Amino acid sequence: MKTIIITGMSGAGKSLAADCFEDLGYYCIDNLPPSLIGNFVDLIAQRKQKVAKAAFVTDVRGGEFFGDLKENLKDLKRRGVGYKVIFFDANDKALIRRFSEHRRSHPLGEDRTYEEAIQAERAALEPIRRIADYTIDTSEMKNADLATAINKLLAEGNGASGFRTVVQSFGYKYGIPAEADIVFDMRFVPNPFYVDSLKSLTGKSKKVRDYVMRAPEAKRFMNSVIAMFEELRPAFIREGKSSLNLSFGCTGGQHRSVAAAIIAAERLTKAGENVVLKHRDI
């Protein structure tokens, strides 16, 4: 199981980061005492349906439990559990502004001012900050910038980032998918439904896909779709989007749209993208 430990300063964006990881397919738990991380890992190992990726947010809200984080991390390493620690930080000015704007009390507030509580938290977190695998400073970041930073971080050492592309087929007679970001209409391609030998098949059949792609305009169209995706993908990531839904439609959602979705998914996967293929109406 790929495990991420999210920690850092209060007000530095850990909750937003957890939302980003959740969008990227991680099972996320907020405000988890460090001693329970190992228990959760054991629980996952016993399940038939495995959790591939998990992110745990742990910080000074855990009180006395949080002080054991460093030892708990050592225990995970001894047990062979691979993990990465991401430390979220921001300068004092940004943290004070965020607490003031949202009228929130600091977890270590008690009788302290914001500035005093922040300094106390920095001192308590310093041992963890030193051993963190990554530090993200959110002082000048907008929400979209944070998502971009996380995507870049996950992309280290990989051909693709954590960005996910959902490729979907659908039938117009049942309506356009509400979750579609970009819709491609495949009804310009000759319909295999009217070919006796293909009517009972779907776009999952190679015979149908070959028939659909036999049209020169279909080949040019699919090349244009892939080129457009490669052009727009960095811009979507820059704006904080963690996934993109490409929906291919035809009349009934059985032949042309399915064929196009499969072909697009194969080409994007070959290019190193994280692709999820769905057929809504087949």
Give DSSP secondary structure letters for 92-110. HHHHHHHHHHHTPPPTT-T
266-277: average pLDDT: 91
Nearest to 147 by CA among 160, 161, 127, 159: 161
Give the model's confidence band at 248: pLDDT under 50 very low, under 70 low, under 90 confident, else very high.
very high
Site of tokens 């995970």: 76
CATH number at residue 95: 3.40.50.300
Say yes or no to pLDDT of 116 above 60: yes
Angle at CA 115, nearest 5°, toward 148 and 5? 40
The number of distinct structural domains making up the chain is 2
Q: Are residues 197 and 239 in the same domain?
A: yes
High-pLDDT (> 70) share of the chain, %:
95
Per-residue pLDDT band for 65 (boundaries 50, 70, 90) equals low
DSSP H helices in 132-277: 143-155, 196-199, 206-213, 216-238, 256-270
Instruction: Give the DSSP H or E segment for 85.
Output: strand 83-89
pLDDT of residue 164: 81
Residues 147 and 193 in one domain: no
160 or 263, which is more confident: 263
71 lies in the same domain as 90: yes
Instruction: Note whether 168 and 281 are within 8 A (CB).
Output: no
- The residue with tokens 């291919």 is 248
Q: Are residues 139 and 107 in the same domain?
A: yes
Residues 211 and 267 placed together within one structural domain of the fold: yes
- Other CB atoms closer than 10 Å to residue 190's CB: what's the count? 13
Last residue of a domain, one of 129, 155, 181: 155
One domain for residues 133 and 176: no
Q: Are residues 234 and 127 in the same domain?
A: no
Q: Alpha-carbon distance 109 to 104, whole Å? A: 10
Q: What is residue 159's predicted lDDT score, i.e. its pLDDT?
A: 41
Ranges 80-94, 227-241, 258-272, most confident:
258-272
The 10s digit of each residue's pLDDT in 160-208 is 456 789 999 999 999 999 889 999 999 999 999 999 999 999 999 999 9
What value does the mean pLDDT take over residues 96-101?
Answer: 89
214 and 83 within one domain:
no
For residue 267, pLDDT beyond 60? yes
Residues contacting 248, CB < 8 A, separation 6+: 167, 168, 169, 170, 183, 184, 186, 256, 257, 258, 260, 261, 264
The whole-angstrom separation of Cα 87 and Cα 64 is 19
| Structural domain ending residue among the three candidates 121, 155, 189 | 155
Question: For 119-160, what is each residue's pLDDT tens digit?
Answer: 999 998 998 888 888 888 898 888 777 887 887 777 654 444
Same domain, 13 and 108: yes
- 148/175 same-domain check: no
Q: In one letter, which amino acid is 111?
A: D
Indicate the residue among 155, 180, 206 that finishes a domain. Answer: 155
Is 201 in the same domain as 262? yes
Pairwise pLDDT comparison (204 vs 69), residue with the higher score: 204
Q: Which domain holds residue 93?
A: 2-155
Which residues, other chains included, contact 254 with Cβ-Cβ below 8 Å and sequence gap of 6+?
A: 171, 193, 202, 203, 281, 282
In angstroms, rounded to a whole number, what is the distance separating the alpha carbons of residues 55 and 26? Answer: 6
Q: Which of 254, 152, 239, 268 is nearest to 200 (CA)?
A: 254
82 and 32 in one domain?
yes
| pLDDT for the residue numbered 157 | 43
Percent of the chain with pLDDT over 90: 48
Hey, what amino acid is at 139? S
